[in-house]
Amino acid sequence: VTVSTTADHFRDVYARVTGLGHPRVLPTLDAGVDAAVRYVVTARRPAETLADRLARDGQLPIPDAIALAVDVA
């Protein structure tokens, strides 16, 4: 596989994904190559914040609080 074939494939896949309009697929904003590393930029997925969850549910259960602390650490 040559570099140009891989780059062509990347551009082809990017063009196909860009055209998708599905609620479970993030829209693509940009794609390119930097220092021979190909990348795709997508829109940020909306997510619930910890403040949102605390406002909705109140105090976290101990296992959830521990899991969150481990993720942050």
- Span of 20-29, 42-51, 56-65 with lowest mean pLDDT: 20-29
CA proximity to 33, closest of 5, 1, 11, 2: 11
Look over the chain and give the mean of its residue pLDDT values, rounded to a whole number: 83
pLDDT given at position 3: 56
What is the CB neighbour count within 10 angstroms for residue 4? 8
Question: Tokens in use for 2?
Answer: 């040559």
Tell me the average pLDDT across 47-67: 93
Structure tokens at 9: 């494939």
pLDDT tens digit sequence for 25-49: 888 888 887 887 888 888 888 888 9
Alpha-carbon gap, residue 71 to 7, rounded angstroms: 35
pLDDT at 7: 75
